[in-house]
A and B are shown apart, each in its own frame.
Chain A
């Protein structure tokens, strides 16, 4: 060590920034879920505005990585770490965008009395999505391959909830006054399910970092 300590410091700094970005994403998602549950338009606006913080963090990490690649030409594990951070940064930013989508949809149906069962099911999915983000970030920080791979099972749960949600919506969509709410909530459900997919993608980056081999944990195009 020592020879390239400024380089190591830059790497550490970037990784810390990435974890902070992850914490911001969790705040966006939590805010969006609370706004949805409480039909709180003001909170939904806060969430939408807060996404700018995530975007700033995203850009700062992107520039840091560009700087590292240009000046330090990282190789081996360092290169894999930089590439994994580059991808993870993008996945986190996308997750925050999904949080914003939930907030915007919340505003559109704020005056409709929601179906309590469906609302609870969205809250459950949201909590699963939060859990997956935490597992992905911790797996990255702890270089934990097993935890990264466990995201596949968590994702299966959230996928299943999404399918059940859609089935229930099909039942109530004919009820007067529920149609718009139900259709918009299908998008929310799908959005939460996508957050889970991005968490799995981060898990794949962790596996790449640790094994030097990129593989998709599950292949969506070949699933039954």
Chain B
């Protein structure tokens, strides 16, 4: 484990130990209260309250500009890199304030991994892409085994096992995205944040990513931002719908409705959700 970790111990980080433990499905992983996120004077999201539960897939949907990417980037402090970023409210991760004193962003991202819209493998070998984070974190023991396990979990192993030393850039778009997932899970985070992971992929590669998510939720808590409502309907257990509100200071994203996915797509409670999912808005 990396040096300088001041985050309080919460649950075993090691996947093998986690799997031994009692199943934690349904446990509150994130408890978000009154979250407001801004870039300079522009408020991106406001008044967001929601709980994200363990070992389920939570989808975040909503029109462009509703702040869904901003929202999930708050969950692993990815926005810290943006100089003008500021937030109010709290995000409790297993009861610990993610933005509290002494919490190291590096340790946060160790536990809460992220995969982006565009596959972004390092211009290195397939093996080195997956081995990179474990090496940085000093997890050098049984590295080959760790790399294989991550590639298997990402449903990529069979396709790349004979060419681990070839450049990651030689892979197809869908394979590169699964490689990025393997890279994220090589250090066994607890949460995987996926920001439009399949929006640049063809339908078959998309289906593989969706199947992969179903398998990964056994071991990981998954939050996915998607533009594709049918994708949310297919893969997510719970769905959060964000929309855009405005006041005299401008437009900002709000959480409109958050419920079991079948409820959102058969009988949403809020007219704005209904209008969005039926394609009458956005």
A73 and B230 contacting across the interface, CB-CB below 8 Å: yes
A75 and B265 contacting across the interface, CB-CB below 8 Å: yes
Residue B173 lies at the interface, judged by CB distance under 8 Å to chain A: no
* Among A7, A76, A78, A79, residue most surrounded by chain B Cβ atoms (within 10 Å): A76
Q: A73-B230, A75-B233, A76-B274 are in contact. Are A4 and B279 (CB under 8 A)?
A: yes
Interface size on A, residues (CB 8 A): 14
Residue B278 lies at the interface, judged by CB distance under 8 Å to chain A: yes
**CA A213 to CA B266, docked complex, whole Å:** 10
A76 and B230 contacting across the interface, CB-CB below 8 Å: no
Q: Which residues of B contact A78 (CB under 8 A)?
A: 278
B278 and A1 contacting across the interface, CB-CB below 8 Å: no
Interface size on B, residues (CB 8 A): 15
**CA A121 to CA B115, docked complex, whole Å:** 73
Main secondary structure of the interface of A (DSSP, over half): loop
Chain A, residue nearest B229 (CB): A75
What number of residue pairs across chains A and B have CB atoms under 8 A from each other?
A: 35
**CA A122 to CA B133, docked complex, whole Å:** 83
Residue A80 lies at the interface, judged by CB distance under 8 Å to chain B: yes
Q: A80-B266, A212-B266, A212-B267 are in contact. Are A75 and B280 (CB under 8 A)?
A: no
Residue A3 lies at the interface, judged by CB distance under 8 Å to chain B: yes
Q: Which residues of B from 224 to 282 have beta carbons under 8 Å from A? A: 229-230, 233, 265-268, 273-274, 277-282
How far, in Å, is B120 (CB) from chain A's closest CB?
A: 31
B279 and A79 contacting across the interface, CB-CB below 8 Å: no
Residue A74 lies at the interface, judged by CB distance under 8 Å to chain B: yes
Q: Which residues of B contact A4 (CB under 8 A)?
A: 278-280
Chain A, residue nearest B276 (CB): A76
Q: Which residues of B from 109 to 133 have beta carbons under 8 Å from A? A: none
Q: Which residues of A contact B274 (CB under 8 A)?
A: 76-77
Q: Which residues of A contact B230 (CB under 8 A)?
A: 73
Q: Which residues of A from 55 to 88 have beta carbons under 8 Å from B? A: 73-80
**CA A77 to CA B276, docked complex, whole Å:** 12
Q: Which residues of A contact B266 (CB under 8 A)?
A: 75-76, 79-80, 212
How far, in Å, is A158 (CB) from chain B's closest CB?
A: 32
**CA A79 to CA B233, docked complex, whole Å:** 13
**CA A76 to CA B259, docked complex, whole Å:** 14
How far, in Å, is B107 (CB) from chain A's closest CB?
A: 40
Chain B, residue nearest A7 (CB): B279
Chain A, residue nearest B274 (CB): A76
How far, in Å, is B265 (CB) from chain A's closest CB?
A: 4
Q: Which residues of A contact B280 (CB under 8 A)?
A: 1, 3-4
Q: Which residues of A contact B278 (CB under 8 A)?
A: 4, 74-78
**CA A77 to CA B278, docked complex, whole Å:** 8
Q: Which residues of B contact A1 (CB under 8 A)?
A: 280
**CA A74 to CA B229, docked complex, whole Å:** 11
How far, in Å, is A195 (CB) from chain B's closest CB?
A: 30
Q: Which residues of B contact A74 (CB under 8 A)?
A: 278
For the complex with contacts A3-B282, A75-B277, A213-B267, 9 further pairs of A-B residues with Cβ separation under 8 Å are A1-B280, A3-B281, A75-B266, A76-B265, A76-B266, A76-B277, A76-B278, A78-B278, A80-B266
B-to-A contact residues, CB < 8 Å: 229-230, 233, 265-268, 273-274, 277-282
27 A/B residue pairs, CB under 8 Å, sorted by A: A1-B280, A3-B279, A3-B280, A3-B281, A3-B282, A4-B279, A4-B280, A73-B230, A74-B278, A75-B229, A75-B265, A75-B277, A75-B278, A76-B268, A76-B273, A76-B274, A76-B278, A77-B274, A77-B278, A78-B278, A79-B265, A79-B266, A80-B266, A80-B267, A212-B266, A212-B267, A213-B267
Q: Which 5 A-B pairs have the closest CB atoms?
A: A212-B267, A4-B279, A75-B265, A75-B277, A78-B278
